[in-house]
Amino acid sequence: MSSSDVRQGDKAAVVAQGQRTPKKERQKQFLRLLTPVDSKQTAIYGVLGAAAFFLLWEVGHYLTPEESRRFLPSPQHVVGTLIRLIEEKNFLADVGISLYRVIFSFFVATVIAVPLGVFMGCFSNMRALINPILSGWRYLPAASFIPLLLVWFGPTDTQKLALLFLGVIFFLVALILDNTEAVEKSLVEAALTMGANRWQIVMGVVARAASPAIVDSLRNMIAVSWTYLVIAEIVAAQDGIGAVMMRAGRFLKVDIIMAGILAIGILGVLTDIAFRLLAYWMFPWNRKRRG
């Protein structure tokens, strides 16, 4: 028997074994560990997950007693309320104000956190000096600063921006520090061997190598900014999504509250997509590794 006959026999055995694979075993492949998922499958699963969520919401609405259904409006009613707010209540202006507060405060936090985290990751002495106090600040809830910020800035827009800033800055520094420390030491050693100076190593080697991970950290942390938005706009706010939701809460208008939540969720998803596109455009060498 030739070697080609043996290989053909092995292939036939593999095919036969696959045909005899029980149906339950094939179903378990959906939960296989560390299985790569392509972009098409990701899109399909995402649509199915969203459809399941809205279906459960719809079922919950109709299972609620009729006299209490206004406290759990249907998805169609909430979407209709959101459209009505945009068309009749100038809701887009409130969306724009909230978007400005989140983006501006996060930009300021980024300008401070990125250089600080990179330098702490590069220089052990600076990390030993600053990290202990920053670690302590991470355990302080941002909402606890509201009375102090009101004393300092009053019920102004600055107070809201400061609260959003405090909500992310300390965690952002810690994440970027971790991203910087994760850079392979061999890159630094190679740069030193080739005669690079300290500035070239920090900016040209470490910062560039950590950039994809830093952008991922920024993408994750801006989601935290959106979660703090309503808290920031609770106190003496006349505009913004949170202010609209708080006014609706006084009159038990649950549909408007849920429309505001839906609007924040949509804006958060769009922000996440923007960061993903930014990373895709800025770091083409990282696309295959992420996939």
DSSP the chain: --HHHHHHHHHHHHHHHHHTS-HHHHHHGGG-TT----HHHHHHHHHHHHHHHHHHHHHHHHHS-GGGGGGS--HHHHHHHHHHHHHHS-HHHHHHHHHHHHHHHHHHHHHHHHHHHHHHHH-HHHHHHHHHHHHHHTTS-GGGGHHHHHHHH-SSHHHHHHHHHHHHHHHHHHHHHHHHHTS-HHHHHHHHHTT--HHIIIIIIIHHHHHHHHHHHHHHHHHHHHHHHHHHTTSS--SSHHHHHHHHHHTT-HHHHHHHHHHHHHHHHHHHHHHHHHHHHH-GGGHHHH-
Q: How many domains does the chain have?
A: 1
Task: Determine, yes or no, domain membership for 188.
Answer: yes
Residue 285 lies in a domain: yes
Question: Could you tell me the residue range of the domain that residue 98 belongs to?
Answer: 89-290
Query: Predicted confidence band at 115 (pLDDT cuts at 50, 70, 90)?
Result: very high
Q: Evaluate if residue 6 carries a pLDDT over 70.
A: no
pLDDT band at 107 (very low <50, low <70, confident <90, very high): very high
Q: How confident is the model at residue 237 (pLDDT cuts 50, 70, 90)?
A: confident
pLDDT for the residue numbered 113: 95
pLDDT, tens digit, 9 for 90 and up, residues 171-201:
999 999 999 999 888 888 888 888 888 888 8
Output the pTM of the full model. 0.82
pLDDT digits (tens, 9 = 90+) for 246-289: 999 888 899 999 999 999 999 999 999 999 999 888 888 776 65
Q: Write the CATH number for 143.
A: 1.10.3720.10
- Is the pLDDT at 14 greater than 50? The verdict is no
Q: Would residue 231 count as lying in a domain?
A: yes
Q: Is residue 162 part of a domain?
A: yes
| Closest alpha carbon to 249 in 265, 260, 238, 240 | 260
Can you read off the two tokens belonging to residue 80? 């209709």
Which pLDDT value is given to residue 64?
87
Residue 4 lies in a domain: no
- 63 found inside a domain: no
Between residues 31 and 227, which one has the greater pLDDT? Answer: 227
Q: Give the Cα separation of 174 and 155 in Å (integer).
A: 30
| Residue entry with tokens 């053909």 | 8
Asked, for residue 78, whether it belongs to a domain, the answer is no
Q: What contacts 44, CB < 8 A, 6 or more positions away?
A: none
- Chain-wide mean pLDDT for the chain? 85
Distances from the Cα of 51 to the Cαs of 30, 59, 83, in angstroms? Answer: 19, 12, 20
How high is the pLDDT of residue 235?
Answer: 78
176 belongs to a structural domain: yes
